[in-house]
Amino acid sequence: MTKYKYLQDKALKLRQDTYNAFIETGEAHVGGSFSMIEAFLALHEEIITKDDKFILSKAHASYPYQIYLRSHGFNPKITTHLELDRKNSIHCTTGSLGHGFPMAVGMALSRKKTNKLGNIYVMVGDGECQEGTTWESSLIAARFKLDNLVLLIDYNKIQALDSVQNILPLDNLPAKFKAFNWSVREVLDGHNFEQIISSLKNGGVEQKPFAIILHTIKGKGIKAFENSADWHARKVKGDDVDIGKRALGLI
């Protein structure tokens, strides 16, 4: 039994609950929801404290986030993207790609200026990194030495319609963030809790914002749906319903 067996169990349960909600509502972003589950859980179960904030910039993956919040004493609406709902731990409206990261930079900067404790954690997609605001935000975060800011990049190599490489390559992402004067860690298996948690705990350095680049698999957990742009936003219906249910141990 691995040290993080309890997190693996939680990951399976969150995938199951998310998948059932997709079927129930007819809304689905299986790919990007499932690629971030381990990083999301590692952060929320092992790292985040009450002083910290989490921003889901890639808000098309709202379902696992909202479902998780619902099982932890909050009651957000289940929506395809996120609407500001502070009492339910949703700290900004996101869904238009390239907005959550700049808002997170603003929050981290405000905390620095007012000597407020706590980190701002923000999760973006790799396709989302093609937005110009990503690079403007990265410059600003380094300029103001925002060591209270942690950027998690869900590097699943696929965006909405095709691979990131075919559309607009990010190439050497770690080198880019290093060149922007960030502290950088690469997690080679973004579904391995040990690797994710070790990076989150050991990667930050003083005076620099911190980027964690997680190599992940879009659609992770349902082999037939993995690594495919088809499953970015495809509704789960027909024969696919049971293919997914079987893979997740629901039937």
Residue 98 interacts with Mg ion (CB under 5 A)? no
Residue 154 interacts with ligand TPP (CB under 6 A)? yes
Tell me the three state secondary structure of residue 250: coil
CB of 114 to ligand TPP, least distance (A): 30
Six-digit token string for 49: 């404290």
Convert residues 120-159 into a mask of x (bound to Mg ion by CB under 5 A) and - (unbound). -----xxx----------------------------x-x-
Pick one of Mg ion, ligand TPP, none as the site partner of residue 96 (Cβ within 5 to 8 A by kind).
ligand TPP
- Quote the CA–CA distance of 97 and 130 in Å, as a whole number: 9
CB of 228 to ligand TPP, least distance (A): 11
Contacts of 135 (CB under 8 A, 6+ apart): 180
CB of 133 to ligand TPP, least distance (A): 9
- What phi and psi, each to the nearest 5 degrees, are found at residue 244? -70, -45
Q: Given the complex with Mg ion, which of 33 and 138 has the nearer CB atom?
A: 33
The answer to whether the beta carbons of residues 65 and 216 sit under 8 Å apart is no
- Quote the CA–CA distance of 30 and 232 in Å, as a whole number: 6
Restricted to residues 160-189, the positions that interact with ligand TPP (CB under 6 A) are: 160
Pick one of ligand TPP, Mg ion, none as the site partner of residue 102 (Cβ within 5 to 8 A by kind).
none
The residue behind tokens 């209270």 is: 148
Residue 118 interacts with ligand TPP (CB under 6 A)? no
**Cβ count near 210 (within 10 Å):** 24
Pick one of Mg ion, ligand TPP, none as the site partner of residue 60 (Cβ within 5 to 8 A by kind).
ligand TPP
The answer to whether the beta carbons of residues 32 and 60 sit under 8 Å apart is yes
The answer to whether the beta carbons of residues 154 and 196 sit under 8 Å apart is no
Residue 66 interacts with ligand TPP (CB under 6 A)? no
Q: Which residues bind ligand TPP (CB under 6 A)?
A: 31-32, 35, 58, 60, 95-98, 125-128, 154, 156, 158-160, 218, 232
